[in-house]
Amino acid sequence: MQTGYFSAAWRDVKNSPGWLGKVAILGLVGLVPVFGQIVAYGYLFGWARDISWGVHAPLPPRIFGNEDGALYRRGFFAFVIVFVCSLMPWALGMVWGVLTGLGAFWSARGGFAVAFGPAMMMLWLLFAAAVVLSLLFSWVGTMRMSIYGRLAPGFQFGRIWAMMRRDFGGLLRILGMAVFLMVATGVVVWAATLAITLAGALAGVVIGTPVVSTNNPFVLMATVPGLVALVMILVVACAALSTAAGAFSMALIARALGYWTRQFDVPSWHGQDDPMPFEMTGGPCPAQTPPSNRG
């Protein structure tokens, strides 16, 4: 019976020495725009590439170790692939926004709102499909780029589509777990934001009390900076928690994608333009069964 990609990925993550600290560091690095994402992509998809080759190893010991000399190049290429693949749903979203505004304009004037209804529904469905497909294309493209070490394989949409068609169900399972992780991360961030809001409200109450606000300026001078510092610390902690949760989700997704890619017999791949093994045999790929973690 086929084992879930995410259960295998979770075993690999939790069995990695110091994995919690590594996720926390990735979260802190993620606070730096662009650079943080490049480091996370390079680190995690290098690990995903290893398992696609059948190499079982824990998370690399150092985030910035760059053991293979390709950490930043791989991370930058992954960033480019994700950005380019996001352009199509972004463009459709812009069109949808414009048509929504036009529909509201004509509806307010008794215009052809009914005619806009079916068109808007179709465009919304097209937008949702574009978001899903662009995400899946970026995932598979990033894996191909990581394996070949070049940007071009990440944009070979014909090869990417052939891989997706071969095991679309596996990708959808990974997508489903990614959505679950996104929702769980949102709940955690919401709870942290609520805590910060309550802390800010408490600070306002303390500052507004008579003993602080009247006849005691020294208490005010001593209390306000501490409360402001507390709120700022909580804000930074919330941001770090959010990025750490995102890094944890990305680690699971990347490793699961590595397991998914392994079924295509990566060691038998040749040039980026050559047919993949399943295309040459014409038969189905062997079922992928992620093994238990060995190290």
Do the beta carbons of residue 256 and residue 171 sit within 8 Å? no
Residue 289's pLDDT band, with cuts at 50, 70 and 90, is very low
Q: How far is CA 45 from the centre of its chain?
A: 12
Task: Kindly state the tokens that stand for 137.
Answer: 């294309």
Tell the burial category of 146 from Cβ atoms under 10 Å away from its Cβ (0-12, 13-18, 19+).
buried
pLDDT at 274 over 80: yes
Find the mean pLDDT for residues 60-83.
93
Q: How many residues does the chain have?
A: 295
How would residue 295 be classed by pLDDT, with cut points 50, 70 and 90? Answer: very low
As given in the structure block, the two tokens for residue 232 are 């700022």
Q: How far apart are CA 7 and CA 88, in angstroms?
A: 32
Q: How would residue 205 be classed by pLDDT, with cut points 50, 70 and 90?
A: low
137-176: per-residue pLDDT in tens?
999 999 999 999 999 999 999 999 999 999 999 999 999 9
Q: Is the dihedral of CA 183, 184, 190, 194 positive or negative?
A: positive
What is the Cα–Cα distance from 164 to 78, expressed in whole angstroms? 18
The pLDDT of residue 267 is 92
- pLDDT single digits (tens) 211-251: 445 455 555 566 667 667 777 777 777 777 888 888 999 99
**Residue found by looking up tokens 């006849």 in the block:** 215
Give mean pLDDT, residues 111-137.
76
pTM: 0.80
Structure confidence at residue 46 (pLDDT): 95
CA 197 to chain centre: 27
Residue 119 tokens, joined? 């068109």
Least confident of 191-195, 207-211, 242-246: 207-211
* pLDDT, tens digit, 9 for 90 and up, residues 114-124: 555 676 677 77
